[in-house]
Structure 1
Amino acid sequence: MKAVGWLAAMLGVVVVLAGIGLILLLYTPIPFGDQIDFFRRFYEVGGWQGFGVAELYARHNEHRLVVPRLWFLADLAWFDGRQILTIGAILVSATLHAVILALLFRGLGHRGPVVAVFLLVALGAMLSPAQWENLIWGFQVQFIQVWLFATLAFALVAWAPAAKRYATICGAAILLALLAGLASTYSMANGLLVWPLLLLLAWWRRLPGWAVAAVAVLGGAVVAVEVIGFTVHTGHGDPSDTISQPAGLLRYAARYLTSGVSAIGTSGQEILGGLLMAYALVMGLCALVWRDRFRPAHAALLAVAGFIIGAALMTALGRLPFGLGQANSSRYATPSLVFLLAVSALLLHQLLAFDRRRWVATAAAFGALLLLVPGLVDGVKPVFRLIDQRDARRHTIAAFLAGGYRPHTLKAIYPLWPRNAHYVLKNLSREGKGPFAVLDDYRPSVDHGGSVPLPGKACPGQVVEAREDPVDGLVAMGWVAAGVGARPDWVLATDRRDEVVAWGMAVVARGAGGPDDAGWKFEALGPWAGRSVGPLNVIAALADGTRCRIVTDVPPAPPRFVATVETIIGPAVREPWRVVEGQADPAGVGTTPPRADDALAIGTFGQADTHLMAEVMIAPPPSPAILALPIRTGDYPLGVRVDLTEADGGVVIDSHVFGRPSAPGWNWLLLRGPTGWRGGDTDLRLRVSSPGPQPWRAIAVGRPVWIPVDQDG
């Protein structure tokens, strides 16, 4: 047994170190995902002056994140919103949870080394890399604490003395249990399941009537308030539909309960999960029938197991339409491991009652290995992918500092609406919060306008695209090969005067096609200087402080936009703009078009609904030419596009989908057509569209004109 104990203890320590190492490796102060929603709401209501009880209590999906939002606010106030407090709370909460479970195991009557070993195994499970999403992301503090507070509530009721002479201690324990129950409920919606189990546990313990009544009254009130008026979150399954799929619900729950050991395979999960659910149910029934044969710690551990089984079924009701595979999400590894620990404590207690020590030792060793090793494997497998995600988020902040609003980079922190992410970053930047509290981590020592002489040392790489114009600013994209050594910290683009005009990070692995394809992609960004700054020199700044030149004298590509048009070959339109969908009129242009005599200009600025599709017929140019369209967009032209096609055949000659806005003013979009296109005698159709309806998707267009092919603006 000693050897088994040492093995389990050392394995627990290894897993703890792996979990902490994962946190240190992947930590970032950059908000992403649902954190963006929190910060957006915080700033929308006016920050500290406007964020009150209503915002704390507001639903997030089906949850009331009151307690987590308090953590977010505290982290913002005391640690500049860098996730230091929230991730610290995750670490402390996981540790406390392991301690409480170990104390409950001790409450079964065990003492000495076996309790210490159980504690180390519990620490390993609570910090297992299998739950990496809940460990490295401060927003997930609620996914750690909802289970902690539930376990604490059950433990406090189990420890509350029922004798009258200890009424004061009992009252304190019940009060703390009620507070823990509230904290669980207002960490996540799963916490509502605390109350029926807490009431059953108080009755089972034969606690004084006032204690049982207190649990019943408070729990009933909370459940009634939260259940009345509940509506299904958009995109989730409707419980009234999924309840008719009992087999699917049970399979989902079985996988959910064993997601912390998902390396055993889905079939193994369903078998193991089903057996453990049945075991917990049988033990619970036995505890109700033969109450005097069970200790309070038995009841508390069964309540923990029952709570998580209920949460698994509740989750299945809403998530089953997403597929059974969703039950193995990393976030569900936390409740899975809590469930497995609670059931393991009960099983180990029964095993230790046997006299066959070798058989008991073998079973205990197998249990420890099953509990910890699969989670370690599952947590290590995605490490390189998680590092790439971390680096992509770092690139997002660097791109924001270097080039402002870059919607394609914002997808790394908020895939759905880049506008929301940009709004949050602007506010955090203004206040020096989040990643902007440690700016030196996200920008080079030499910023825009600084001087960097061209180094003599060359390093392998290539610039695959370089462009500059009033809308996109300056962009240089390419790759630097692994032959340079370690990944460059920064890539700098300089002009003919050796001044830095763009910079960025080399963060994304180039490919896996062998030595010749190894290296890192980069994207150097800068603002529009009001003039052409090319040709460019592109330089890699290495971690050892040295620099090497990647490529020199790179000419920017012909601009997509120009601020002014000087020479006009002739008008391009045969008729005014025709509105196909939506509404647009001259009053919607917002500001004066580039040509004051433009009588065709229409727009959607100032309208309640900015959805628009408009088109105009284009006469062929008298000579080879470029079509120049005066256009203005709202601040976030998501989905706004321009298409130039043949009038009858529909062949696309050129098109542009907006990323960055032309706002606040007008610019000319240049539509060139395919290489070698020089016009012809076929009429063309020019179409502009915006999905609307938001004001930041507004557009305005004027009279298109033909300009010479060699005009650069």
Structure 2
Amino acid sequence: MQQFNRRQIPILCLIFLPVLFMGICILKYGVNFPFSDQWPLAVMFEKIYAGNLSFSDLFAQFHESRKFFPRLIFIGLAFLTNWDVRSEMLVIFVLTCVVSFNIYCLNRLTVRASLVTQLLLLAISNLLIFSPAQYENWLWGIQIVVYIPIVCLTGCLVIAQKKLSLRTKFIICFCLCTVSTFSYANGMLNWVLVFPALAILASGKFEEVFTKNIWIIIGGLLGLVANAAAYFYDYQKPDKHPSFLSAIAHPVETIHYFLAFLGAPLGFENLTVATIVGGLVFGFWLFLGWKFFWLVKTDFLLLHRLIGWLIIKNLF
């Protein structure tokens, strides 16, 4: 096992500086006042005090999500702090620390490099993970719902790389994907990301993914179907949301929106520039994907080390 030494102290400072900075910012700028989507929680608290809170209240749809597990967290925090919403911000901070730890673990499990290099990679990761640019997420307690699926996904990717039995990995990932689904709407995507990755990591060559280990993908698909059935039971489309079929009905506008959205960070708030940048980025992504496909086709075990990072890169 590699040991720490004095030369690594500056790197450790770089790792923890963004963490410390964001923790201080939350303590300094966090305000104990519910905002916007937090107010409906007050109705749930009233039901608790009246003694008539039901499972359906916890499972109820809010906008497009069913925030079952976050509601349990909100109730627990409200009970402990008399609904001081700053405690929710601190939970967001803790969840983000878990994400950082998961990234470090994934790094240790997949990157063949010295401890110094791995710590430097973590320092760079923390600059992004603890970026103050997402200040609205840091200072709005209900955004716990956004971080839970990320924690679940990165946790699944680490578990998939661990030396555990395949059945144990499957069960843990199944549970984490369920938590993710009933925390935030996009958490459902974890099902289609985690189980193919788990099947790949359990296989020594491409053929085994669709033969020996196909049960992993099928099991994940069945889990997705079961979760989706519960999720969409009595689902009501929010009034301001477009139809599920609108993207198919207007393919040109959909592609335009996708490219503009993809290029927006470098589009200088210009729709045309954002669309062009998005097209270039997407084209480059397709090119890299094609090259990578042929690379891992001849070296399948390389995919074992890269699959987690590919999922994180393409999702975030």
TM-score (norm 2): 0.78
What is the CA–CA distance in structure 2 between the aligned matches of 1:41 and 1:226, rounded to whole Å? 20
Are positions 1:137 and 2:133 aligned together? no
Q: Are 1:278 and 2:278 matched, yes or no? A: no
Q: CA deviation at 1:264?
A: 7.0
The Cα shift of 1:51 comes to: 2.2
Aligned-partner residue type, residue 172 of structure 2: L
Partners in 2 of 1:48 and 1:170 — Cα distance?
46
**The one of 149, 154, 177 aligned to 1:151:** 154
Asked if structure 2 preserves the Cα contact closer than 8 Å seen for 1:280 and 1:302, the reply is no
CA shift for structure 1 position 134:
1.0
1: CA distance, partners of 2:288 / 2:37:
34
Q: Which amino acid aligns with 1:86?
A: E
Q: 1:301 aligns with which of 299, 304, 309?
A: 309
- Code of the residue aligned with 2:312 in structure 1: it is V
**Retained in 1: the 8 A contact 2:296–2:302?**
no
Query: In structure 2, what is the equivalent of residue 292 of structure 1?
Result: 300
Matching of residues 545-584 of structure 1 within 5 Å: none
Does structure 2 conserve the Cα–Cα contact (< 8 Å) formed by 1:158 and 1:299? no
Indicate the SS of the match to 1:171: helix
Contact 1:149 1:183 in 2 (8 A): yes
Q: Matched residues in 2 for 1:238 and 1:194: separation? A: 23
Residues 210 and 246 of structure 1, relative CA distance in 2, 3 Å threshold: closer
For 1:529-548, list aligned pairs within 5 A.
none
Unaligned runs of 5+ in 1: 162-168, 309-338, 340-713
Structure number with higher helix proportion:
2
Q: How does 1:64-75 map to 2 (within 5 A)?
A: 64-75=66-77
Q: Which moved more, 1:13-22 or 1:84-93?
A: 13-22
How far apart, in 1, do the equivalents of 2:289 and 2:70 lie? 32
Question: Who is 2:174 aligned against?
Answer: 178
Aligned: 1:187 with 2:183: yes
Residues 66, 186 of structure 1: 8 Å contact kept: yes
Aligned residue identity for 2:24: G
CA contact (8 A) 1:64 1:186 kept: yes
Measure, in 2, the Cα distance between the counterparts of 1:129 and 1:194: 26
Provide the secondary structure at the position in 1 that maps to 2:39.
helix
Quick one: which amino acid aligns to residue 135 of structure 2? W
Alignment-derived partner of residue 207 in structure 2: none
The residue number in structure 1 matching 2:206 is none
Equivalent-residue separation in structure 2 for 1:272 and 1:113 (angstroms): 35
What is the CA deviation profile of residues 477-507 of structure 1, one whole-angstrom value per residue up to 9, with x for unaligned ones?
xxxxxxxxxxxxxxxxxxxxxxxxxxxxxxx
Q: Taking structure 1 as reference, are residues 209 and 270 closer, same or farther at Cα in structure 2, changes over 3 Å only?
A: closer
- Find the counterpart in structure 2 of residue 113 from structure 1: 116
Asked if residue 222 in structure 1 is aligned to residue 227 in structure 2, the reply is yes
CA distance in 1, matches of 2:187, 2:303: 25
2:5 matched residue in structure 1: none
- Residues 9-48 of structure 1: pairs in structure 2 closer than 5 A: 14-43=17-46, 45-47=47-49
Q: CA deviation at 1:135?
A: 0.7
State the Cα distance separating 1:159 from its structure 2 match: 3.1
Report how far residue 91 of structure 1 moved: 1.1
Of 90, 93, 96, which residue of structure 1 is paired with 2:95?
Answer: 93
One-letter code aligned to 1:19: M
**Distance in 2, Cα, partners of 1:205 & 1:249:** 35
Residue type of the partner of 2:201? R
* Distance in 2 between residues matched to 1:63 and 1:144, nearest whole Å: 14
1:89-111 Cα deviation digits (max 9, x unpaired) = 21111111122123223313223
How far apart in 2 are the matches of 1:251 and 1:147?
Answer: 24
The Cα of 1:272 is off from its aligned counterpart by 7.5
Q: CA deviation at 1:290?
A: 4.5
After TM superposition, give the deviation of residue 151 of structure 1 in Å.
2.0
Q: Which residue of 1 aligns with 2:208?
A: none
SS in 2 for 1:239: coil
The C-alpha deviation readout for 1:153-186, integer Å capped at 9, x for no partner, is: 233224355xxxxxxx333222221111111111
Distance change in 2, residues 1:42/1:95 (3 Å): same
Report how far residue 69 of structure 1 moved: 0.7
Counterpart Cα distance in 2 of 1:15 and 1:156: 26
Evaluate the alpha carbon distance shift between residue 20 and residue 101 of structure 1 in structure 2; reply closer, same or farther with a 3 A threshold: same
Distance 1:290 1:84, change over 3 A: farther
CA distance in 2, matches of 1:101, 1:273: 25
RMSD: 3.3
Q: Return the offset for 1:113.
A: 0.9
Shift in CA distance, 238/9, structure 1 to aligned 2, threshold 3 Å: farther
1:150–1:242: structure 2 CA closer, same or farther, 3 Å change rule? Answer: same
Alignment CA distance shift 1:295-1:111 (3 Å): farther
User: Match for 2:313: what amino acid?
Assistant: A
Structure 1 CA distance, aligned partners of 2:287 and 2:33? 43
Q: Which amino acid aligns with 1:233?
A: P
Q: Which whole-Å CA distance do the structure 2 matches of 1:56 and 1:280 have between them?
A: 44
Cα separation, partners in 2 of 1:289 and 1:230, compared to 1, 3 Å: farther
- What does the per-residue CA deviation read over 1:547-591, in whole Å, with 9 as the maximum and x for residues that have no partner? xxxxxxxxxxxxxxxxxxxxxxxxxxxxxxxxxxxxxxxxxxxxx
Offset of 1:64 from its aligned partner?
0.9
CA displacement at 1:190 relative to structure 2: 0.5
Aligned mate of 2:237, from 232, 236, 240: 232
The alpha-carbon distance between structure 1 residues 276 and 96, as it changes in their structure 2 partners (threshold 3 A), is farther
AA matched with 1:297: R
Once the two structures are TM-superposed, the CA of residue 271 in structure 1 deviates from its matched residue by: 6.5
CA distance in 2, matches of 1:178, 1:280: 31
Contact 1:95 1:123 in 2 (8 A): no
1:247 equivalent in structure 2: 255
Segment drifting more, 275-284 vs 112-121 = 275-284
Deviations 1:356-395 (A, max 9, x none): xxxxxxxxxxxxxxxxxxxxxxxxxxxxxxxxxxxxxxxx
Letter in 1 for 2:162: W
1:192 Cα deviation (Å)? 1.1
Deviation at 1:287, TM superposition (A): 7.2
Report the Cα distance in structure 1 between the residues aligned to 2:231 and 2:191, rounded to whole angstroms: 12
| Partners of 2:302 and 2:76 in 1: CA distance | 42
**What SS does the corresponding residue of 1:216 show, helix, strand or coil?**
helix
Partner letter of residue 100 of structure 1?
N
TM-aligned CA deviation for residue 220 of structure 1: 2.6
Aligned to 1:704: none
Instruction: For 1:247-266, list aligned pairs within 5 A.
Output: 247-255=255-263
Change over 3 Å in CA distance of 1:247–1:111 after alignment to 2: same
Give structure 2 stretches of 5+ with no counterpart.
1-7, 204-212
- For residues 68 and 279 of structure 1, the distance between their equivalents in structure 2, rounded to whole angstroms, comes to 39
User: What is the DSSP-based 3-state SS (H/G/I as helix, E as strand, rest coil) of the residue aligned with 2:242?
Assistant: coil
Number of residues of Structure 1 aligned to a counterpart in Structure 2: 292
The question of 1:125 aligning with 2:121 is answered no
Whichever residue aligns with residue 146 of structure 1, its letter is: P
User: Which structure features the higher share of strand residues?
Assistant: 1
Cα distance, 1:76–1:247 mapped onto 2, change above 3 Å? same
Q: How far apart are residue 132 of structure 1 and its match?
A: 0.6
TM-score, scaled relative to structure 1? 0.37
